Structure 1
Amino acid sequence: MEEGTVALTGKNEDGKRVQSTSNEENSDMLLNSKQVIIVPGYGMAVAQAQYIIHEIAENLLKRNLSVKFAIHPVAGRLPGHMNVLLAEAKLPYDIVFEMDEINSEFKNTDVVLVVGANDIVNPGALDDENSRYMECRARSMGCKNSNCP
C-alpha cells in the first residue's frame, strides 16, 4: 500500500459504500476550498495532535483561506479542554468559536475537518443527500460512537 493511503474498499456493516482516499486528495480538498472549519475532540487530545492541527491551520491561513475552529460544549474531558489545548498550541483566539456561535456557518463551509470528535458529529450527515461529501477516518474504520464507518 502506498504511504499516505487509507485502505478502504467495499461496504461497511450497514451496507454503506466506503471509498479509499489519500492524504494528498484530502490536502487538495483543503487547499482548493475557501472556508474551512476544524472541529477538535478528545481524540485530538489523546493523539496530542493540537500542534499539527495548528500547523495545518497556519498553512491554510497563509493561503488566505478562512479557517475557524468550532468547539462543541462536550468535547474533551471537561468544559474548556479543547480551548486549553488550542491555546497551548498557540492558536489565535479570534478563530476559535463555541458551537452555538459558528453553527450557522457550516452550510457555507467548503470543508469541515473533524479531528478526534466522531462522537459529537451528527451521524445524519451520512444519509443526507444534501451533504456534499463526508469522510470519516477511524482507527479501525469500524463503527464508533456516532455509528460512522
Structure 2
Amino acid sequence: MKKYREKSPEETIKLVTVEIIERAIKFSKKKNRSIFISKTSGGVRTNVKDLDPNSIEGKENLEKFFNPIRRHYTFSGLGSPEENNSINWRVLNLPFGRRILLVFQVFVSFILKGTPFKNKLYRWMGIHVGKGAEIMQLVWLDHFRPELIFI
C-alpha cells in the first residue's frame, strides 16, 4: 500500500486506526450500535462518533486521543455473533475485497523462497520490508493489518 510507505511506525498506526475509526462510524450508523475505542483493554472508552475526522470537533478530539500514540487500541461494542446487529471484527478492520486479496497473497508468499520478488510481494501487501531482508519459505506473516508489520 503506497500511502503507508516511508512512514514511521507511529504514523502508520495512526493512519490505520483512523481508517478503522471511519469504518466503525459507518457501521455504527448502519447497524444502530455504539462502538467505542480505548487506549488499553480496560481503559476509558470513547465513542468513535466523537472522533469523526470529517468534523471540526472530531478532528480536535482525534488529535487529543492520539496524544501520545499507543502501540495498540481496543474496540468494543461490536456485539456477540448471536446478535442480529453485531459487527464482525474482520469486517470492521478491512473491506471484503482487501481481505480476500490478502489471503491469496499470504498463501503465495508462504510457498515462495526468500527472493527479492517475495520482498516486493510483501511490500505490495503493505508490509515494511527493509533493504537486504531475506524472508525464507514457510514464514507466515499476519494478514490482519500488514501495514503494521516492520521488518
**TM bracket, shorter-chain basis:** under 0.3
TM-score (structure 1 length as normaliser): 0.24
TM-score (structure 2 length as normaliser): 0.24
- Which structure: greater helix fraction? 2
Higher CA-based Rg: 2
